[in-house]
Amino acid sequence: MTELVDEQLMLSYGQGDVKAFTQLYLRHKNSLYRYFLRQCANPQVAEELYQEVWNKLIKARSQYQVSAKFTTWLYRIAHNELIDYYRRTGTQSKWLDADNQDLETAEFADHNSKSDTEKLDQAQQAKQLKECLAQLPREQKEAFLLKHEADFTLKEIAELVVETTENIKSRIRYAVAKLKHCIKYKLETSNER
Amino acid sequence: MSDKLTRHDIASLYKRAATEQPSSQLDEQILKRAADDVTANKVTPINKPKRFYQTWHGQLSTAASLVLVAVLYVQNTEQYHQPSELINKPQILNDQQSQVAPEAVFEVMETQASEHAEVKLKHTLKRSASQMAAPQLKLQSMDTDSEFLKLAAITKSVANDFKVIDQLMIEGKTKVAKAQLKMLLTEHPELKAHLTDEYKKLQQDSGD
């Protein structure tokens, strides 16, 4: 049985088909939830923002038109909610310079550290990754999440956050580099103990 | 063996790490809100299709069909009326100003009808309508050739009868001419109203 695409489901929901919304919700709920969870210090705040995004989508269902991908529309609402939250709470200072090329100033082990011969458990690495992700600058973190949670291309991310594709490419590159260093540093730290 | 993490490794690690989900309570709240919004706004359910007459194309096609039927009816009505009127009640003009003998006109009609019955006869009749002094036929505009031919045949027959009557009158056989005229008027009583003085006098004459 062919699954309906997101846009068709949203249009159906706009016409009153609640089952279509249920399908849409189940399809995207986890990614969107983690998108907020990774970027908010407080899980409760993440839940509030997450719920608000769906509320706005529900309110706008009758006016929905297929002018872009559904996920672009969904995450644009989410992105704006996050920005508004940062402005309300004054947490913009948590940003770091997204285009910072000076990796040595970061709180990670430098690239000259001795190579590690031992492998950590993959589950542990995954846990460390989450911890490292939390330390990333906000814009790099968001770009990374939009790529790995919502499967957006660089161009789509650039359009969503109103940036150039080159900037997004740089942000993701630096995010990945920092994550590598961070994981490696944590690995070395745990080995030394 | 060095553990150099690649971009792909990072992506895989993240997918492994991304296990968090919203609570079921939160899910229920959102789904309920979605359903309540539909109920509150009373949007037409999609599983109830509109009937044909409720759709715009249904109404438009119905209106178009009615217009078409009306037009066809009016057109066909005119066609049916005109030829039947012409067949049953040929009108006879009595042109007092013209001096042309009726038999001459009918001779032309007879000749041309045998050669090119339809077109030439029509043309001749139309031309003759303005020149006839004697009983003659006036044809309304004809829509179909078949109806025209029928009328042409009747015209020809009547013309022949008058021709015969005229000939009898010339020969002095007034009584016979009167009888012929009487027979003709019996078959075509509508001709009575349009007889010339000559034929009216013949009717009144006792004859020999």
Q: How far apart are CA A103 and CA A101, in angstroms?
A: 6
Strand ranges for chain A from DSSP E: none
Query: Is residue A18 within 8 Å of B33, Cβ to Cβ?
Result: no
Residue scoring higher pLDDT (B174 or B42): B174
Q: Which of A91-100, A109-118, B108-117, B150-159 has the highest mean pLDDT?
A: B150-159
User: Which residues of A fall within a CB distance of 8 Å from B48?
Assistant: none
Report chain A's mean pLDDT, rounded to a whole number. 85
Which residue numbers in chain A have pLDDT < 50? Answer: 1, 93-118
Q: Which of B135, B131, B143 is nearest to B85 (CA)?
A: B143
Q: Do the chains contact at B3 and A25, CB–CB below 8 Å?
A: no
Task: Give the start-to-end residue ranges of the domains of chain B.
Answer: 52-88, 90-204
Taking CA atoms, what residue in A is nearest to B28? A22
Closest Cβ opposite residue A58 in set B1, B22, B33: B33
Taking CA atoms, what residue in A is nearest to B15? A148
Query: Is residue B173 within 8 Å of B120, Cβ to Cβ?
Result: no
The pTM of the full predicted model, rounded to 2 decimals, is: 0.55
Q: Model confidence over B185-194: pLDDT tens digits?
A: 988 888 888 8
User: Which residues of B fall within a CB distance of 8 Å from A59?
Assistant: 37
User: Which residues of B fall within a CB distance of 8 Å from A179?
Assistant: 10
- The domains found in chain A, sorted by start residue, are 6-93 (1.10.1740.10), 96-192 (1.10.10.10)
Query: Is residue A33 within 8 Å of B21, Cβ to Cβ?
Result: yes
Best to test chain A binding among B19, B37, B44 (most A CBs inside 10 Å): B37
ipTM of the complex: 0.83
Query: Is residue B181 within 8 Å of B203, Cβ to Cβ?
Result: yes
Q: Model confidence over B118-133: pLDDT tens digits?
A: 555 555 555 555 555 4
Cβ atoms within 10 Å, residue B141: 9
Confidence (pLDDT) at A154: 96
Taking CA atoms, what residue in A is nearest to B17? A126
Smallest CA–CA distance, residue B17 to chain A, in Å, is 5
Q: How far apart are CA B137 and CA B93, in angstroms?
A: 6
Q: Which helix (H) or strand (E) holds A73?
A: helix A70-89
Residue scoring higher pLDDT (B111 or B166): B166
User: Which residues of A fall within a CB distance of 8 Å from B31?
Assistant: 21-22, 25
Q: Do the chains contact at B11 and A25, CB–CB below 8 Å?
A: no
- Indicate the burial class of B171 (C-beta count within 10 angstroms; 0-12, 13-18, 19 or more): exposed
Smallest CA–CA distance, residue A128 to chain B, in Å, is 9
Quick one: CA dihedral B107, B111, B114, B116, positive or negative? Answer: negative
Q: Do the chains contact at B14 and A129, CB–CB below 8 Å?
A: yes
Q: Model confidence over B1-42: pLDDT tens digits?
A: 335 778 888 998 899 899 999 999 999 999 999 999 999 876
Q: How far apart are CA A9 and CA A20, in angstroms?
A: 5
Query: Does residue B106 carry a pLDDT above 90?
Result: no
Closest Cβ opposite residue B46 in set A15, A34, A130: A15
Report chain B's mean pLDDT, rounded to a whole number. 73
Q: How far apart are CA B191 and CA B199, in angstroms?
A: 11
Lookup: tokens for B177: 């001419």
Smallest CA–CA distance, residue A33 to chain B, in Å, is 6
Confidence (pLDDT) at A138: 93
Q: Model confidence over A24-46: pLDDT tens digits?
A: 999 999 999 999 999 998 999 99
Closest Cβ opposite residue B35 in set A18, A62, A187: A18
Averaged pLDDT, B82-109: 52
User: Which residues of B fall within a CB distance of 8 Å from A25?
Assistant: 27, 30-31, 34
Q: Do the chains contact at A126 and B2, CB–CB below 8 Å?
A: no
Q: Do the chains contact at A176 and B7, CB–CB below 8 Å?
A: yes
Averaged pLDDT, B106-115: 56
Confidence (pLDDT) at A179: 94
The DSSP-derived string for chain B is: ------HHHHHHHHHHH------HHHHHHHHHHHHHHHHHHTPPPTTSPPPGGGSHHHHHHHHHHHHHHHHHHHHHHHHHHHHHHHHH--EEE--SS--B-HHHHHHHHHHHHHHSHHHHHHHHHHHHTTTB-SSEEEPPP-S-HHHHHHHHHHHHHHHHHHHHHHHHHHHT-HHHHHHHHHHHHHH-GGGGGG--HHHHHHHH----
Confidence of residue B204 (pLDDT cuts 50, 70, 90): confident
Confidence (pLDDT) at B75: 87
